[in-house]
Structure formats: structure tokens, C-alpha cells
Amino acid sequence: MQYAQLGRTGLKVSRLCLGTMNFGPYATEAESFQIMDKALELGINFFDTANVYGWKLGEGVTEQIIGRWFAQGGGRREKTVIATKVYGRMGDWPNQSRLSARHIREAVEGSLRRMKTDYIDLYQFHHIDRLTPWDEIWQACETLVAQGKVLYIGSSNFAGWHIAKANETAKARHFLGLVSEQSLYNLKDRMVELEVIPACRDYGLGLIPWSPLAGGLLGGALEKLEQGRRASEDKQKQINELRPQLEKWEAFCRELGERPADVALAWLLANPVVTAPIIGPRTLEQLTGSLRALSLQLDEAVLKKLDEIWPGPGGEAPEAYAW
């Protein structure tokens, strides 16, 4: 397994991050345990979750599964860098969502209780809160860090200027601030190249891409359909809209002799700002199948061809749209 430091911190995490969103809704608890055990066996030490995963209001189903897995012992908690999130609705009352100091405190305690641990390695804001001032957010986080309940703070789904404002406010408070950003990023969805990636690079944030295969579109969607696999109505619509690009994409991957999913992950790993794409396996086979991307080196000619098939926004802002 390859490891990288998370942003500007000294924390080392695996270059693949195990996403747990499928644990509960799609993978049973037993299957989830097997996947997490296998991940550690493979050297994957970076696990990502959220208090809302499991999609049963206020229950934190996925965090509970992780907690019962930790409780088995065997060094599971000690070997794992666990990342969870706060922001989503955990109840029907007014202060059971977003990033008020009140909700952050309650959400941390809930996540710690469900995951049967006394600290969270990376605590991530699941979304920007436009109503809560940063001084309030950072004061709450400073308390949690001082108490040892949280070690590092990250963001998710932030714009570039959100990252700048958050970290400038943290700097004024002599606080470490954000060390990572979790964004939608893949060959199809490259909007973050305009301002989020430059902000991450400038402020020393590690980028953690979610949906690296664009919901499966980059994982050989056409080939799977030809093999008789079924696709949802929405996925079929997306495939039809992107068919010309997908045909070029899958043909090029065949020319390379590589699986589309591996090329898509390798493309992300080639970006020096990217710490670890999030892989969300439902099965052991999907987990072990992702490892090829770590050893797949894409040369300049391949990267140029991928840009032709999946063009980005044209570079960074403002040069992408101005002189």
C-alpha cells in the first residue's frame, strides 16, 4: 500500500480511502466487517463515513456498524484513521443540523458513542453553513481539539472561497484550520479544477475525491450493459447522453489493456493535490479490484488523450475563461 501525508499535516493515510456509505443500506453488517478487515489486511488505513449514513434519521446506522467492528478489538481502532462528518439532519428539532456550536458538540458526542471510540481522527464539515459565523465554528472545534475528542478538521463540498475564508479566520485565531477537502471530482466532473484545487494547493489541504467513478459511469458502464447488467432509469439516461464519450473512453481503456475503473482512479492519483480517492465497495471483489490503480502510471500522452475525451474547464480560474 502507498501512503501520503494528509495535506500539510504529519498524518499518514493510505492512497485509497475506504468509503462506508454502502454499509447498512447495501452491504450487510457481516459483509461490512469482512470489507473493513480486508481493507486493513491490504494496508488501507483511511476510512470515511458520516453521521447521516444509513439514511435512518438520527440513527447513524453506518457509524454504529463501524463501532461494533472497532469493538472486536485486534487493533482495529488503533490501525484506522477514521473520518466522519457533521452538518446533516440528525433529528426534527431546529438545532439538530448544520454547524452551530450546539449541534457540533452534540454531533461529536453522538459519533463517538456510536463508533465506540474516544476520538475522531478527521472531523469534516459535510457542507458549508451560510448561517453560522466561522468564529463560532472554530471556537467549538478548538474546544474539541483541546479535549482530545477531535484531532484534525476537514471540509466537504466547499467552494474555493469558503476554504480561504475558513482558513484565514482560523489563522487569526492561531488554529490549524482545515487540512482536507472532500469534493466531487472525477474525469467527467472537473469543476473543482477552477478554484477548489488551487485553494487546496495554496492552503495545504489534501483533496479527497468522492464519486471517483462518476457513480459507475467511468467503471465500464457500456460494457456492463452489453453483458446484460441492468441499470436504473436515471443511469440509463446518463449513459445515453454521454454515449459518444463513453464509447471513446472504454475503447481507449481497451487499447491500454486496463479496466476503466483503474484508469479513472489512476488519473486522480496522478494529481499531486489528491491525497486519496474514496472507493465505496459493496463486495470484497470490488475492494481488491481497486488496487491496480496504485501501480498504474499514466504518461503524458495518455493524460492528453483523457483530456480530449473528458475535457475539463480549461484550467484554473481566471485563465480558464479570461486572459
pLDDT tens-digit map of 26-85 = 999 999 999 999 999 999 999 999 999 999 999 999 999 999 999 999 999 999 999 999
Structural domain includes residue 320: no
Q: What is the pLDDT of residue 232?
A: 80
- Mean pLDDT of the 88-96 span: 95
Structural domain includes residue 30: yes
Q: Tell me how far apart the alpha carbons of residues 110 and 136 are, in angstroms, rounded to a whole number.
A: 20
Structural domain count of the chain: 1
Q: What is the pLDDT of residue 288?
A: 94
Confidence of residue 297 (pLDDT cuts 50, 70, 90): very high
pLDDT at 233 over 90: no
Structural domain includes residue 141: yes
Structural domain includes residue 278: yes
Range of weakest confidence among 84-98, 219-233, 286-300: 219-233
Q: What is the pTM of this model?
A: 0.95
Between β-strands 46-48 and 278-279, what pairing exists: parallel, antiparallel or unpaired? unpaired
Q: Tell me how far apart the alpha carbons of residues 103 and 87 are, in angstroms, rounded to a whole number.
A: 8
Structural domain includes residue 244: no
Structural domain includes residue 247: no
Domain of 9, CATH number, reads: 3.20.20.100
The catalytic residue among 53, 87, 123, 152 is 53
53 part of the active site: yes
Q: Tell me how far apart the alpha carbons of residues 137 and 110 are, in angstroms, rounded to a whole number.
A: 18
Residue 286 is which amino acid? Q
Burial 220-230 (b: 16+ CB within 10 A, else e): bbbeeeeeeee
- Full residue range of the structural domain in which residue 102 is found: 3-216+260-299
- Mean pLDDT of the 3-30 span: 97
Structural domain includes residue 207: yes
Structural domain includes residue 234: no
